[in-house]
């Protein structure tokens, strides 16, 4: 996996733009300056969260790419704490929504309230009107509540009654979910899964990390102390720079090949057709490109490399590949299929 903190001066010749070196150098200088607060943000969150460096990096990449993040793991792995720490590192509005089986869409987006004094209905906005939303245990709420997020996540707007309200940028949903095998969970609809730029699967910490967690957190008054190191304005400026990051034709073709291989694996010499019910959508191509550019931004580079793409591809594709019953019978997962594709499709 590519290290977003590695030296930005290591420029591979085969992926560097052939022309416009002066503008590339200028863009690199801008990126080095504006990416520094986000590297500090990673360090700030890392002071509290132990053993989840991959998750922290993915949260910042989602923030830079303007996409929503889905985090899956069993209870107790600091998923909620990680998102709360990230929000503390940004001077912005934050709302935590605990999804439960009795939650209603109005509890999320708001509703119209009748005022007898004026004999009028007025809109009472819900907690969705914040820059950062933590949708905690999103798959413990029924589908009607999950689908209430769709318009907000995709269109950056919500409709209450006959009125439409635009959400203030940056708007980011970070959702946590328990594994679907657990009791009391509802599988997320495919349409909503596709709205998340990445799905990160959080695993248990290793022994050394567990010991570090014990020494740091085994106190009755453990507090989250994260210094605010960036602002919404800096996030929007960073996103503009991410949009300007160069993606060469070979890297673009590599991205397309990875996505196409999920739909037609036989064309790439893989016998996976019976295991894949649906491949990744065109949204995967867009999100993989954005995430790769955000990864390059954190590295201080003005261009994306195949390594950026490969480092992020598993998290972008794993929730977009829908497997067949044959795959389940063979105990194959979407992650196994994506791993095979990454190992097979040639890297430029």
Co-location of 189 and 256 in the same domain: no
Q: Is residue 14 part of a domain?
A: no
198, 229, 244: which is the final residue of a domain? 244
Same domain membership, residue 225 and residue 294:
no
pTM for the whole structure? 0.84
Res 181 pLDDT > 70 = no
Query: What domain count does the chain have?
Result: 2
Placement of tokens 């063979």 in the chain:
330
Mean pLDDT along residues 25-41 = 91
8 Å CB contact between 139 and 187: yes
Based on the fold, state whether residues 143 and 227 are members of the same structural domain.
yes
Confidence of residue 7 (pLDDT cuts 50, 70, 90): very low
Q: Tell whether 237 and 251 lie within a shared domain.
A: no
The residue with tokens 């899956």 is 72
CB within 8 A of 173, min separation 6: which ones? 68, 69, 133, 135, 149, 152, 153
pLDDT band at 194 (very low <50, low <70, confident <90, very high): confident
Non-local CB neighbours of 331 within 8 Å, separated by 6+ positions: none
Over the stretch 110-125, which tens digit does the pLDDT of each residue have? 888 888 888 888 888 8
Residues 283 and 176 in one domain: no
Q: Backbone phi, then psi, for 108, in 5-degree steps?
A: -95, -55
Last residue of one domain, picked from the residues 220, 244, 268: 244
Q: What is the pLDDT of residues 64-86, one digit of tens each?
A: 999 999 998 888 788 888 888 88
**Can you give the CATH number for the domain in which 304 is found?**
1.10.8.80
For residues 46 and 185, membership in a common domain is answered with yes
Domain containing 24: what range?
A: 20-244
Q: Does any domain span residue 5?
A: no
**CATH number assigned to the domain comprising residue 87:** 3.40.50.300
Among 224, 244, 264, identify where a domain stops: 244
Picking from 17-21, 31-35, 153-157, which range would have the lowest pLDDT averaged per residue? 17-21
* Helix intervals (H) in 266-346: 282-298, 306-317, 325-329, 334-344
């Amino acid at each position: 996996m590519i290290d977003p903190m590695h030296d930005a001066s290591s420029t591979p010749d085969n992926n560097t733009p052939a022309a416009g070196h002066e503008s590339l150098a200028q863009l690199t200088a801008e990126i080095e300056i504006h990416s520094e607060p986000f590297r500090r943000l990673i360090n700030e969150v890392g002071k509290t969260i132990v053993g989840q460096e991959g998750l922290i990096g993915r949260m910042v990449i989602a923030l830079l790419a303007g996409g929503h993040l889905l985090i899956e793991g069993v209870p107790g792995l600091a998923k909620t704490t990680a998102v709360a720490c990230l929000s503390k590192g940004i001077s912005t509005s934050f709302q935590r929504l605990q999804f439960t089986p009795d939650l209603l869409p109005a509890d999320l987006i708001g509703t119209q309230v009748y005022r007898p004094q004026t004999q009028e209905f007025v809109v009472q906005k819900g907690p969705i009107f914040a820059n950062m939303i933590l949708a905690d245990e999103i798959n413990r709420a029924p589908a009607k509540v999950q689908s209430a997020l769709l318009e907000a996540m995709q269109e950056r707007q919500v409709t209450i009654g006959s009125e439409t309200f635009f959400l203030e940028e940056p708007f980011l949903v970070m959702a946590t979910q328990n594994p679907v095998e657990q009791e009391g969970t509802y599988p997320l609809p495919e349409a909503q899964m596709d709205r998340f730029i990445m799905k990160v699967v959080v695993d248990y910490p290793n022994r050394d990390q567990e010991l570090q967690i014990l020494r740091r957190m085994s106190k009755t008054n453990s507090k989250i102390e994260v210094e605010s190191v960036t602002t919404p304005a800096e996030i929007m400026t960073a996103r503009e720079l991410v949009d300007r990051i160069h993606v060469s034709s070979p890297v673009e073709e590599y991205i397309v090949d990875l996505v196409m291989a999920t739909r037609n694996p036989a064309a790439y010499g893989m016998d996976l057709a019976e295991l894949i019910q649906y491949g990744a959508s065109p949204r995967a191509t867009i999100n993989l490109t954005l995430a790769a550019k955000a990864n390059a931004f954190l590295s201080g580079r003005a261009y994306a490399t195949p390594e950026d793409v490969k480092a992020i591809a598993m998290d972008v594709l794993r929730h977009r590949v829908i497997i067949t019953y044959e795959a389940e019978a063979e105990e194959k997962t979407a992650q196994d299929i994506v791993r095979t594709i990454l190992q097979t499709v040639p890297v430029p």
